[in-house]
Every structure is written in structure tokens, then in C-alpha cells.
A and B are shown apart, each in its own frame.
Chain A
Amino acid sequence: MARIDLEHIRHSYLPAATSDADYALKEVHHSWQDGGAYALLGPSGCGKTTLLNIISGLLTPSHGRVLFDGRDVTGLSPEGRNIAQVFQFPVVYDTMTVFQNLAFPLRNRGIGEAEVARRVGETMEMLELTAFAGRRAQRLTADLKQKISLGRGLVRSDVNAILFDEPLTVIDPHMKWQLRSQLKLLHRQFGHTMVYVTHDQTEALTFADTVVVMYEGEIVQIGTPEQLFERPRHTFVGYFIGSPGMNVLPVEVDGATARFGSQSIGLPRAVEIAHDVRTEIGIRPEYVRIGTRGMPLVVTKLEDIGRQKIVRATLEGRAICAILAEGAEVPAHPRASFDPKGINLYADSWRVETEDGR
């Protein structure tokens, strides 16, 4: 187990990268605490797998250094870094039994058979694989195969980190939930540093203590699930997290007031913003109140999602979403108001601080 530092990592798959657009990873400078459970969240192609492979050593970054517990490992192979990685598609050695699969990384490292048997036994017990020990790995279901992949990492008790690259993609929904809880449990029990790549916000938010959101080769926000929800640092985070995503409306800011079409929205405090900057406010559907007071809006669609209703409407000609609490109804002449504590101000897509002490 180790603390992992990424020092000014940049990576391009092109041999001669010049502009920023050539870089799959623009600039990542971040530390992963020893024993932390991190999720790396972002859309496809945002560079999260690239970053993961740089940590594991499958890729060497074009620029920057990777440190494990302060030791420079940038030039080391995955084997030299002593990490474990679980891939999107389960990797098992077809001709081996489950036991032999788990024993493989140990035997490759020249560990004695008695020790191998003990550790493989423990790992199989932990992952509930004991019943399959003598079975050929080839014919097992995807979730069992994925457990074997994970087991090959866990069996080496001294791994520095366990990296997951969208490990639940091919798993059935009901098994996903089980495997994820099992992962959390293992993390609590053994405290491995875990980095979990996914494009599924539910997976990220339920697995990790800290979620790292990536967008176009950059880390846009690092925070707890709550911070990502309440205070998205970038409009992308607002869109990407939450269902439906945050409403982002173009405004003109004048002191403590944001003008949106013919409407005025009060900001928590006055802010100074340069003239050539695009300003927007972000408000989550959860903070849009539908009632008889506020700005008039036209409801276009009502979606019933069980306990709540999603109201799709237009406000000043812009599409907007609101979540209607349980039991509430849309009045005959609906109006909308924004809960002040849910209002975020963005300048050129990045959040502007509007609260004191934050």
C-alpha cells in the first residue's frame, strides 16, 4: 500500500505533440492518499484510462513523474511497481483452474507452494470462490471471471494499489451491485489504495470517498460526492453528475444581481466579473421550486419517475428542468423560483466563489 503522487503528468499518444489538442492528458498534478478509495469519473475519451495506465506503468507519460511513497517509479514496469489492475473485460487464463489462476502471480514471483496454497485459499474464501477452486476458469460466468481477475491482485498481499478500469461493464446489473458492495467491504477490511475508473456516476458515487472528475484530459474537480453535487466547480461536472443534470442559464451579472432575460436573480453576494467573460448560473433541478410565485414558465413535459416527477419546461425561451417533490402538483399558471443556496455562478464555465469562507 502506498501514497501515489502524480507530478505534472502530461501524455500524448503522438510522437511529436505540439498543441494542447494533441495531448490525451493535458496536465494532471495530484496525490492519491495511502488507503484511499478513489473514483475516476468522466465521459468516454476524457483520458481516464490513459491516466490509470500511467499509474499502473502500462504507459510511460510523455512528461512528468509518478511517485509511490516518494520513490520515483516513472520508468518502472507494472511488475516493478507491484500494482494490481482489473480490466473492463475479465481476463482469465483459460486453460487453468480457478486455483491455478490465483496462484499464477505468486508462482511467477517464485513464492513457495505452501505459502501459495495458504494465500490463494484465503483469497478464494474472501471472494467466495472456494467452491470453484478446481473448476476450469474458461466456462465460468462473467462476474466470477471478474472476481478471479480481482483475486489475482488481492492474492499479492503487498500490492501498492489496486486499479480498476470500468470493471463492471460486462456484469449483469444485479451482480454489479453485489460486486461493488464486496469491493467496498474489501477496501474497509484491508485498506488498499484503490482507484476505480468509470463513466457511471452511480458507481463512482457509491464506491468512492473521493471522486475525481475528468473532462477533456484534465481533472476538473476532486471532491466528495456531496461537494460534486452541491458545488460543481465546472459546468461539465454539473451536467455530468446528477439526474437530470444541472440547469445552466446564460446571465448578465451586475453586482449582486444576475439578469436572465427579463428576470432578475439575486446572488448571495456581489461579484466583480470582467466584461469579456461568458457568465452563467447553474441551478440543480432539485433547487428549482415550482409554485405560484416567481418567474412564469411553460411546462412542456412531465415525467413520472416514481417518487418524484421531473418537470421539463421553458423559462424565458430556455429549456429548464425541475424536480417536483412527492405529492406536489404543477399549478395552473406555474411559476418558478430558485432556492438561493442552490445557485452557482460560472464565468467561462468555471465556478465563481459567491460565498464567504468557502
Chain B
Amino acid sequence: MTRTWNNRAWFMVFPVLALVAFNAIIPLMTVVNYSVQETFGNNLFFFEGVKWYEEVLASSRFHAALWRQFLFTGTILLIEIPLGVAIALAMPRSGPWVSVCLVLMALPLLIPWNVVGAMWNIMALPDIGLLGHTLRQLGIDYNFTRQPGDAWFTIVLMDVWHWTSLVVLLAYAGLRSIPDAYYQAARIDGASHWSVFRYIQLPKMRRVLTIAVLLRFMDSFMIYTEPFVLTGGGPGNATTFLSIDLVKAALGEFNLGIAAAMSIIYFLMTLLVCWIFYTLMMRGQDQ
């Protein structure tokens, strides 16, 4: 069979290309453009090469924000994933309570981020908030607007409250897809509860947990609204995560070059870490 080359086919691809160009390539290239130039008003630009990148990568402010970011993401992953799996395991497998549990679990996911931030801000207020007031009544010197530790505690608690449900729902879906025969076979093989978890439930949940980790990693790595509303990045810079720092640089200080370079670095980092996670978690399956 002879192959006919016909370049007119490219026209068919054009609409998609245009779409992708407008929603991904052009905005991204704009940022790339800013990141290599010095920008002044009146559309004056001077090419600066990699100067902004060097500056960002060398700045201790960026290092501190990056460290806080990883600390935060690591902490919430370490809490939310095991907690989510534990709750999913404790949920009933069938019966009328299933829907009740699912609805309860889905509720936090339906609340907009800024509302979540505002809710927790009010709840954690040391003088009138339910959480803040109760903690102080218990004799704990709690004040999230003054003490960095308390601010961290509140933000992590808020994130766990907001997002553990997602892990629960994913893990529950994974558990439900395990046929009964596996549990029956395990009973006949004399497996303990731990063995059932270790050799049946956990391997069968692997895919959904990979998705859960990736989603939670990306979301928490880009977290902005909730800490912005709750603490505004304070006290001091204690809860200034990468995106908050970025907005401070771009809008607060109008350092477009620095902010653009930071964005690109930030973007590449998210991509890289996601890829590493994905490769690590899928490696076992491809053997």
C-alpha cells in the first residue's frame, strides 16, 4: 500500500491548536517574556536574560517560602492520606448509612476556598471564636494571629478538615471495587485483619491513592486563598507559602520580572515533583 502525503490534514488540527495556544501557550509565553526582561511603564522593555532567575534562586526569602511550602505539603499529606484511608476503612460497606456518610464527607468539598478561610478565621479567633475561645478556656495560650506555631496548627487543621474527605472518597471507591471473593479467600487462608489490609486492600487502593497523593500534592503546593484569608501569610512571614510570596512580589511590590521568574520556577517544580511521585508509585506496577 502506498502512503499519500497530504498536508491539508494540518488544517484539521488548527482549531485545537488555536484553543491550546490561547489558553496555555500564549499566557505561559507572556510569563516567560516577563521573566527575561526588565519592565517599565509605557511598555518599555529591556532584555535581561536569566538575571531574574539567578536573583530568585539566590534569595533567602524564596528559600524560606519554598521550605515552608514543602513542610506544609508534607505535613498535610502525612496526615490526610492515612487519616483518609482509616476513615474509608471504617465506613460501612453497604446499607442506608453509606449515603449518609458519603454526603457528610462531600460537604467540606463543596465549600469555596475563601469561605473556608473566613470560617476558620472566625472560628479560631482567640476571644470569640469557638475553637480559639475553647482552647483558651482549657488553659492553652492559643493565638493564631500572634504565635507562628498556632497559625500553623490552625492552617493544617483547616486543610485537613477541608480535604481529607477527598482522600476518603477516593479510598472508599477503591475499597468498594474489591470483589467479596478476596475477603472470603483471605478468611479461608486464615489471614489476620492486618494481612487483609496489607495484602488486599492496600494493593487494590494503590491507583486511587496515587491519584489522591497527586491531587493533594498539587493543590496544597499551590494553596493560596485559605491561608491568605486566614492568616494573610502571618504572623510575620510564618505562613507565607510560595503562592502568597509570589503575589506579594508581583502585586505588592510590582516586581514583574522576579514574579514571572518565580512563577516559571514554581511551575517547573510542581511538574517535576508530580512526575517523581507518579513514577515512584507506578514503578511497582509495571514490573
Give the interface of A toward B (CB within 8 A): 53, 56, 58, 77-79, 83-85, 87-89, 91, 93-96, 104-105, 108-109, 136, 139, 149, 152-153
Contacts and interface: CB of A to CB of B under 8 A. Distances in A.
B203 A84 contact: no
28 contacts: A56-B188, A58-B184, A78-B188, A79-B187, A79-B190, A83-B188, A84-B188, A85-B185, A85-B188, A87-B181, A87-B185, A91-B181, A93-B199, A93-B203, A94-B199, A95-B284, A96-B199, A104-B189, A104-B195, A105-B188, A105-B189, A105-B190, A108-B189, A108-B190, A109-B190, A139-B287, A152-B185, A153-B188
A58 B203 contact: no
B78 interface: no
A13 to B, nearest CB: 13
Interface string B193-222: 001000110011000000000000000000
B185 A149 contact: yes
B191 A108 contact: yes
Contacts of A93: 199-200, 203
Contacts of B188: 56, 78-79, 83-85, 105, 153
B204 A94 contact: yes
B182 interface: yes
B203 A78 contact: no
B190 A95 contact: no
Judged by DSSP, the binding face of B is helix
Contacts of B139: none
Contacts of A78: 184, 187-188
A266 B188 CA distance: 55
A87 B188 CA distance: 11
Given A79-B188, A87-B181, 15 more contacts: A56-B188, A58-B187, A77-B187, A79-B187, A83-B188, A85-B185, A87-B184, A88-B181, A91-B185, A94-B199, A94-B203, A95-B284, A108-B189, A108-B190, A136-B287
A174 B191 CA distance: 33
A79 B184 CA distance: 10
Contacts of B252: none
Interface string B13-38: 00000000000000000000000000
Nearest to B202: A95
Nearest to A104: B189
A77 B187 CA distance: 8
A103 to B, nearest CB: 10
B199 A95 contact: yes
Contacts of B195: 104, 108
Nearest to A165: B181
B192 interface: yes
A313 to B, nearest CB: 46
Given A94-B203, A94-B204, A96-B199, A85 B190 contact: no
B199 A85 contact: no
A179 to B, nearest CB: 18
A317 to B, nearest CB: 48
B188 to A, nearest CB: 5
Interface string B129-160: 00000000000000000000000000000000
B181 A152 contact: no
Nearest to A139: B287
Contacts of B189: 104-105, 108, 152
Contacts of A85: 184-185, 188
A4 to B, nearest CB: 16
B179 interface: yes
B287 to A, nearest CB: 6
